[in-house]
Structure 1
Amino acid sequence: MKDIKINQIEHAVRLILEAVGEDVEREGLLDTPRRVAKMYGELFSGLHEDPGKYFETIFHENHDGLVLVKDISFYSMCEHHLLPFFGRAHVAYIPEGGRVVGLSKLARAVETIARRPQLQERMTRIVADTIMEKLNPLGVAVVVEAEHMCMTMRGIKKPGSITVTTAVRGIFAEDKEAKNEVLARILK
């Protein structure tokens, strides 16, 4: 959080509260600007982290089949409205030459990438590209399913609507059968 300017965020939140007509001196709001600033520091901490760092330790295992971690829960923030979107990410890859990583590293990378203001499509792409770049697997498939509060709380007001985005690389992009097989495993 060292690169995040908490005092500046705190000042901005105070201005927003005043702009909507709130009394920033009333008991319930006295510490709200500081709390919101600290929350944003946490929610946007991924802006200053490299998700590739989780793939620096590689293990060599005689495994050439699919590695799939499903239902990685995450929270992120839509960059258009600064409202949350949340859901599950599913990450699959086929190792090349037995190069594998600890399973938790896939979830840690998702978490780091999620902690940025962004679009779901970008998040999905960055997860896939990072794994492809760092592990050089035969293929990567990432599916992200999320509910967006900008569609639930405002605008169209459709709670429960789920947006699904996919990114496929390597063999999953080149071989339709491989792509269909991995997506069927992820989405079942």
Structure 2
Amino acid sequence: MKTLNRKIAPVFNPIKQISMLPAAFKVLNNGLSCYTLTQTGSGICKIEWVFNAGYVYQQKPLIAYFTNQLLECGTATKSNAEFNEAMDNFGSFLELQCDQDIAVITLYALKKYIEPSIRLVHEMLQAPTFSETELERFRNQHLQDYKIQSQKVHTQARRLFLKSYFGEAHPMRHL
């Protein structure tokens, strides 16, 4: 077996061409705009819903993040466990992300179960419970981490920079 000599840099090869799937723009019957990419043969679908709902829209720290993360913790008709079991039964899963100015819900589902998986996401968005029990559990899990992160020098420096750059009243000061 040949060992690597880490003192010698690897050969540099510039990228000559990047092949990207073409995106098609569509306006749905309900007026929503979407972009679609089609890749045949995978049997897996990925759908991203992007909302204007990030940190700049929150009145207090962590509200946008908590709201986004608690969406999948139960609906009007399903508990947290029931919702997750239903997603598992379809071979589907969600990624929930919250950034500065957007919140993103990403659904990964098998093509044959895309419709029932979308119905679950619809229910999650239309009838989330935000139960007190789940909120308290989530808060306890993340509050300590938030406190630790808040003590770090790079976090404090970023907050001071953003506050001085944007001013006290600007929503971006909380990032």
- TM category (shorter chain) comes to under 0.3
Report the structure number with the largest CA radius of gyration: 2
What TM-score do the two structures reach when normalised by structure 1?
0.23
Which structure's relative contact order is higher, taking Cα pairs within 8 Å and 6+ residues apart?
Answer: 2
Structure with higher strand content: 1
